[in-house]
Structure 1
Amino acid sequence: MKSILVAAAVALVVSILFTPYLIRVFSRQGFGQEIREEVQGAHSAKRGTPTMGGVAILVAMWAGYLVTHLTVSDELPSASALLVLGLTTALGIVGFLDDFIKIRKQRNLGLNKTAKTVGQVVAAVLFAILAIQFPDQNGITPASENLSFIRDITVVSFGAVGFVLFAFLAISGWSNAVNFTDGMDGLAAGSAAMVLASYVLIAFWQFRYACSDIVGGPGPACYQVRDPLDLAIVAAAAMAACVGFLWWNAAPAKIFMGDTGSLAIGGLLAGLSMTTRTELLMIIIGGLFVVEALSVVLQIVVFRSTRRRLFRMAPFHHHFELAGWAETTVIIRFWILAGISCMFGIGLFYADWLALGGS
């Protein structure tokens, strides 16, 4: 528990203090956000606000994790945590390039779809291949080739090649879902902080009741997860980094996370879901991100089929904004929905524990 608290405290301080430094530097360099034409009226005042603030989240997350291992943790950095951090950073680099191109070309479109997809493929494939290596003394690898809900569903096994494909779909899906959600001040950062807080609880609970630590042999309620405590440290550092960034990103935002932050956070969520064996549970905990992504898919499908729009604008949060809701009203209500999704997911996680005889 001490390691988790130190990671969160360090990441929070670094994020709060480092973000205003980035605001000054990016403002001097002219690294300002371009605004979509469809929302120019409502968001025109935001044009030129510094972007690529996801750099602060990544730096704070790494700082929290590394300082914890250098000071209070007796363990070396684990394979699971380093893989998740590496995936997060790799997607952050893809997002940084996307943001940088937008700024240099003064448009709202950065990397083309092919280039962004290639970056996601490389990051996902490397993560997936390495995640089914490095077994611990109990033979548990960072990720499993089985699909998982709260635990592995052993009857649904992908195999090595299938898992690589599944990992790409999950990583691409989550990174794009968070990217879609990042359209209002603080919406993505606040929602991500709640999801990551949920994973601090989940990973710490898995650490407390890891099968390898059960006296007298493992029972049905224990967890076959490699490095759960270190994953809790990663989640705590990332959560605090998002909260610290939110201090400056809340409306009216002084800086945006950009694709640098949204793609990285999406990759982080995907990585945590696979390494904690909760891939399907993440769909519930991260329900807000799922709804935002679905709104985009439905908008495209309906428009191509009927030439009519299902929503005034997608992603979903812009539909309510164009319907007359104030931006802060949309943000707070969507945060409430994100919190409800997290609580429901945690409830299912604990119900599974009780159903299998945990006490």
Structure 2
Amino acid sequence: MLMWLADWLQQFESGFNVFSYLTMRAILSTLTALLMAVIIGPKMITWLQTMQIGQTVRDDGPQSHLSKAGTPTMGGLLILASIVSSVLLWGDLSNRYVWVTLAVVVGYGLIGFVDDYRKVIRKDSKGLIAKWKYFWQSVIAIVVAVYLYANAQDPAETALLVPFFKEVMPQLGLFFIVMTYFTIVGTSNAVNLTDGLDGLAIVPTILVAGALAIFAYATGNVNFSSYLNIPYIPLTSELVVVCTAIVGAGLGFLWFNTYPAQVFMGDVGSLALGATLGVMAVLVRQEIVLVIMGGVFVIETLSVILQVGSYKLRGKRIFRMAPIHHHYELKGWPEPRVIVRFWIISLILVLVGLATLKLR
């Protein structure tokens, strides 16, 4: 929006040309989302407390979590509002990829909102029934996948990019829809499962979003993409503004979500953030690298799958509790130690993911 205004103002003052630069808009996107979250945060937390929108805590979980009961939740609304506002202000709104990501942010945010609303306002401990949550996640993911496949303008947009191998780039055909579906839905639920400790999910999300900004910039730049031997997809460069908005909003939210948390993001935040990371990985053709960089999300999800599978098949549990961050808590690790160590692991995995740009 402001990009269009700056273009118009250039006829009167050439200095406004600076706002046409992607790097400048990315910086402003980060700062705008960050400041919005920090400024609005205290008021939202107070409102959530007034409305008694508090977190419920499982009785069978770590005893240290009982003190978290009543902590304001649905703080993801703060994140999503900051992201959407920042992108609308600094993004190129003629770019269809920008609108695809915003649609995913809002769509999955609505699913999470309904789930949170039922749990914390209507006091329905089950929230949105799992099959309906999965149904609506699937509907949005399939619509996005079909849209991207039908509107692909270059074979590179539907090719599978395999990290570490220069010449391996098979065409997916209709399987592109299947992969896109699982990437979006899978990442959404993986981030949701990870969101169990103060700041545990938001920092890996920030790190992965920052890395995807680099991938988007390189993929959308003809010189960098040629040098790095990755597909050149022009429209993806504008996703840098979306990624940096996530970074800014995430940092602003972390200001209040760091241990001991003043607010939790709830499903409205975790489902939307995960799905957005997934769709952006699809757009820059880095689904496999997303699995590497989002390794913490993958480990958390696998721990739940293994725990449930083992209990149903053998009647025994593998971990003391799943997701795996609770396992380490029950082993006696203080919550901050679990959180920071998972952050460190996430940073390492993101760096490995970034290394795939050159190690090809």
TM-score with structure 1 setting the length: 0.88
More moved, 162-171 vs 173-182? 162-171
After superposition, the Cα gap between the structure-2 partners of 1:107 and 1:183, relative to the gap in structure 1 and judged at 3 Å, is farther
C-alpha contact 1:144 1:152 (8 A) present in aligned 2: no
Q: CA deviation at 1:164?
A: 2.8
C-alpha contact 2:30 2:245 (8 A) present in aligned 1: yes
- CA deviation digits over 1:300-338, x for unaligned, max 9? 111112111100000010000000000001000000001
Please show how residues 212-291 of structure 1 align to structure 2 within 5 Å.
221-291=229-299
Please show how residues 114-125 of structure 1 align to structure 2 within 5 Å.
114-125=131-142
After superposition, the Cα gap between the structure-2 partners of 1:153 and 1:115, relative to the gap in structure 1 and judged at 3 Å, is farther
Q: CA deviation at 1:210?
A: 5.5
Which residue number in structure 2 is paired with residue 93 of structure 1?
A: 110
Letter of the 2:157 partner, please give it.
S
Which residue among 303, 306, 317 is the counterpart of 2:314?
306
Which residue among 48, 57, 64 is the counterpart of 1:35?
57
2:257 and 2:103 map into 1 onto residues whose CA distance is 25
- CA deviation digits over 1:115-157, x for unaligned, max 9? 101110111012112222445xxx338x833333358954351
Which residue number in structure 2 is paired with residue 157 of structure 1?
A: 172
C-alpha contact 2:228 2:357 (8 A) present in aligned 1: no
Letter of the 1:171 partner, please give it.
I
Which residue number in structure 1 is paired with residue 15 of structure 2?
A: none
After superposition, the Cα gap between the structure-2 partners of 1:275 and 1:210, relative to the gap in structure 1 and judged at 3 Å, is farther
After superposition, the Cα gap between the structure-2 partners of 1:105 and 1:85, relative to the gap in structure 1 and judged at 3 Å, is same
Of all paired residues, the percent bearing the same amino acid is 32
Structure 1: gaps spanning 5 or more residues: 70-74, 353-359
Q: CA deviation at 1:219?
A: 7.2
After superposition, the Cα gap between the structure-2 partners of 1:53 and 1:308, relative to the gap in structure 1 and judged at 3 Å, is same
C-alpha contact 1:201 1:232 (8 A) present in aligned 2: yes
Q: CA deviation at 1:27?
A: 1.0
SS of residue paired to 1:109: coil
Structure 2: gaps spanning 5 or more residues: 1-22
SS of residue paired to 1:157: coil
After superposition, the Cα gap between the structure-2 partners of 1:225 and 1:63, relative to the gap in structure 1 and judged at 3 Å, is same
C-alpha contact 1:77 1:230 (8 A) present in aligned 2: no
After superposition, the Cα gap between the structure-2 partners of 1:191 and 1:222, relative to the gap in structure 1 and judged at 3 Å, is closer
More moved, 21-30 vs 102-111? 102-111
Which residue number in structure 1 is paired with residue 33 of structure 2?
A: 11
- CA deviation digits over 1:238-275, x for unaligned, max 9? 11111110000001111100000110011011101100
- Structure 1 residue 336 corresponds to structure 2 residue 344: yes
Letter of the 1:187 partner, please give it.
L
C-alpha contact 2:210 2:247 (8 A) present in aligned 1: yes
Letter of the 1:223 partner, please give it.
P
2:59 and 2:234 map into 1 onto residues whose CA distance is 47
Letter of the 1:147 partner, please give it.
L
The count of corresponding residues between Structure 1 and Structure 2 is 336
SS of residue paired to 1:37: coil
1:2 and 1:167 map into 2 onto residues whose CA distance is 31
SS of residue paired to 2:184: helix
After superposition, the Cα gap between the structure-2 partners of 1:49 and 1:220, relative to the gap in structure 1 and judged at 3 Å, is closer
SS of residue paired to 1:227: helix
Which residue number in structure 2 is paired with residue 188 of structure 1?
A: 201
Q: CA deviation at 1:37?
A: 2.1
Which residue among 74, 89, 93 is the counterpart of 1:67?
89
Q: CA deviation at 1:220?
A: 7.8
Which residue number in structure 2 is paired with residue 54 of structure 1?
A: 76
C-alpha contact 1:36 1:108 (8 A) present in aligned 2: no
Letter of the 2:336 partner, please give it.
T
Which residue number in structure 2 is paired with residue 140 of structure 1?
A: 154
Which residue number in structure 2 is paired with residue 103 of structure 1?
A: 120
Which residue among 214, 217, 223 is the counterpart of 1:201?
214
- CA deviation digits over 1:166-210, x for unaligned, max 9? 322221211110011000001001111111111112212223336
1:152 and 1:144 map into 2 onto residues whose CA distance is 16
After superposition, the Cα gap between the structure-2 partners of 1:322 and 1:107, relative to the gap in structure 1 and judged at 3 Å, is farther
After superposition, the Cα gap between the structure-2 partners of 1:233 and 1:303, relative to the gap in structure 1 and judged at 3 Å, is same
